Structure 1
């Protein structure tokens, strides 16, 4: 669009191309060759892969062919910008001699697209370690040809004499300056002596105990509590401020009348209650078992599962999806996402996810008061409810996470229930490992559930079992699927001593520990 007739300071109309969305990279250098510039960013494929994941940072390698090159990272930002192409044209006027022959200048403005994402390199570059050895005369010798294997080599390649080259085991996880807030050391007066080591001089918890007042019981404990602590009752009365809270209390009370033992996920799947209020309500209704076959579960006050053989259907099963080449799929191939991990450190090439918004009292009461509309109450009634798949196992459906805590009664498969009820009427002793069930009951349940999940994954992703290598590793799936129970037993016996059978999945977290920390 020509802008010759527009004066200075006047807005120029530009036709927007809304169908073209672009990504901007503020490259920290002078670009003379676009292809070489893209190589430093990982190529078009690498840039597309980073752009597809909002949690990743764009990496720039100044020496893309050097495997020891440490990248600098760009942060991702949202923006609302335009990419314009402006051409300045000059036309000299003919026949006008002297200083009056001023050239005629015109500008052509064209909108190429809308920029919605921009990557900015705001951090500092880390130290670069080169595979170079300095000889005695000061001459530098490259060692890349000796430390990098680019083709199959013979044994002599690994026994050649090389100078010592040890790169750092880890680089800095931060690329932006941090204020350490250094303070001077404490200066004591003359004659001061450190106090003796005693309980009163030791530093305890860095925070006050959370006022939820839950009662924890071990399997070896003698008696179970009959009623909650008075502090727990008072805390619930303080937060029970509207009719919906009273309704939630009655619903939870009915749940414990129907079934004396519940997991927190099962409660959250049956009633809609804010998580912060559930932390206060559960200690008012039940006590928490820490060890034994009912660990990590909430048990109704006055009910002792160690004295009731019929309580075996409420025992907990710690189930983890098995993965590995012998099962036909690797952890990265599993169509089940991993939970967050305590060891999921924030690396320089990643960014933290957006934190959850704080909930105000107005948010808690919105749609819950007596003056709220019917539509608002209906919306709030299911706002915090979870899907029943978080605590119920069904054949043909994959668990939502790689590590799950199921109760025996929530295993909705007839074959699994037959294993649980093998000793009905013959329960004689309640043990800490197996409860009222026969020994190795949990192991048998895990084996059968793993077999069902393997068949489900195979039906959902048959490509994982198509290659010869994976087909060999998946022989046990084929034999089990054909009904050959003897082959299945033989495979299970061979795998009993394999440590990988019960290896925690990547990203799994200890839910029981997390729940206990909510109350201490």
Structure 2
């Protein structure tokens, strides 16, 4: 097949073996669209968790492939790839150039180019990195002169250390547990409050015909108080007592109730996780037992620029 030369002069371009080709049934290949320039295949596999890590992710269709640009850094946040089915082919194309003899020095004869194609396999699965990279938080601290000093040799225990390693004075380093819930950008449209004319009143609508924006509340008859409230509850609600009496039908439930009473005798304030760690009770029954023996104290405390809400469980004073 003749074609004009890309340099403007005459030339020939031959393509061979580009006709019908047989599709091999094996091997079935997996493609990873790596978001970077691949120069070392071994280094690329290490950022993906190695061959074992990629195989483990491929065995579970519900998991996402994670890419760590700094695989040795435990504080590195991964970039996740989604799994998609595909039906593509992996081709090997060879380009062969054959130079022709030049008879006349004035004319430039383009070399003869030949392409050979070979189908290596069928790609059935592809992993695509469609999200953005998350924020990265490095273990660093600022020195008095303003320089950033690494703390990895002080916070990472790479070998068995002596007691002096744990008693060293270090700058405060508390990395955030999470930065972003989503790795894809989301458009959020801010809507101003509706300005009504003077004298406008909201229409009276029956609550039975309204569709709520959140799930319906699941009341367990618990009592919530603030830390600065002057009055505290002295007994549970009647509905909480009735609910617990209905489910407390066997000696195991009675034993759990006594164990919880003993915990509150040791100290009056417990968190929910601490209660679950000290007694063995089903979560559904714990939701009914806590309003029967304790009330929730919610106290908001301002810390730096944010607000932290603490949830306490305190025994009723009967």
TM-score, normalising length from structure 2? 0.60
Q: Which position in structure 1 is the counterpart of 2:237?
A: none
Higher strand share: 2
1-side partners of 2:283 and 2:201: how far apart? 49
1:17 is matched with which residue: 20, 24, 49? 24
Task: State the secondary structure of the residue aligned to 2:89.
Answer: strand
2:144 is matched with which residue: 131, 136, 145? 136
Q: Which position in structure 1 is the counterpart of 2:183?
A: 175
Aligned CA distance change for structure 1 residues 65 and 182 (closer, same or farther; 3 Å) = same
1-side partners of 2:18 and 2:183: how far apart? 41
Aligned CA distance change for structure 1 residues 40 and 91 (closer, same or farther; 3 Å) = same
Q: Which position in structure 2 is the counterpart of 1:260?
A: none
2-side partners of 1:169 and 1:38: how far apart? 26
Q: CA RMSD in A?
A: 3.6
Q: Does 1:87 align with 2:91?
A: no
Aligned CA distance change for structure 1 residues 192 and 29 (closer, same or farther; 3 Å) = same
TM-superposed CA distance for 1:187, in Å, is 2.4
Does the aligned pair in 1 maintain the 2:47–2:69 contact within 8 Å? yes
Does the aligned pair in 1 maintain the 2:93–2:116 contact within 8 Å? yes
TM-superposed CA distance for 1:152, in Å, is 2.0
Q: Which position in structure 2 is the counterpart of 1:127?
A: 135
TM-superposed CA distance for 1:103, in Å, is 1.5
TM-superposed CA distance for 1:26, in Å, is 0.6
2:63 is matched with which residue: 50, 56, 63? 56
Q: Which position in structure 1 is the counterpart of 2:211?
A: 207
Structure 2 unpaired stretches of 5+: 1-12, 213-242, 255-276, 285-318
Does the aligned pair in 2 maintain the 1:15–1:110 contact within 8 Å? no
Q: Which position in structure 1 is the counterpart of 2:195?
A: 187
TM-superposed CA distance for 1:155, in Å, is 2.4
TM-superposed CA distance for 1:191, in Å, is 7.6
2-side partners of 1:64 and 1:206: how far apart? 51
TM-superposed CA distance for 1:127, in Å, is 0.8
Q: Which position in structure 1 is the counterpart of 2:273?
A: none
2-side partners of 1:88 and 1:25: how far apart? 25
CA offsets, 1:215-267, max 9 Å, x none? xxxxxxxxxxxxxxxxxxxxxxxxxxxxxxxxxxxxxxxxxxxxxxxxxxxxx
Higher helix share: 1
1-side partners of 2:139 and 2:85: how far apart? 39
Does the aligned pair in 1 maintain the 2:95–2:114 contact within 8 Å? yes
2-side partners of 1:432 and 1:21: how far apart? 56
Moved over 6 A (4+): 191-195, 200-205
- For these two proteins, the number of residue pairs brought into alignment is 220
1-side partners of 2:120 and 2:140: how far apart? 46
Q: Which position in structure 2 is the counterpart of 1:235?
A: none
TM-superposed CA distance for 1:201, in Å, is 8.3
Q: Which position in structure 2 is the counterpart of 1:374?
A: none
Does the aligned pair in 1 maintain the 2:100–2:111 contact within 8 Å? yes
Q: Superposition pairs for residues 269-284 of structure 1, below 5 Å?
A: none
TM-superposed CA distance for 1:498, in Å, is 7.0
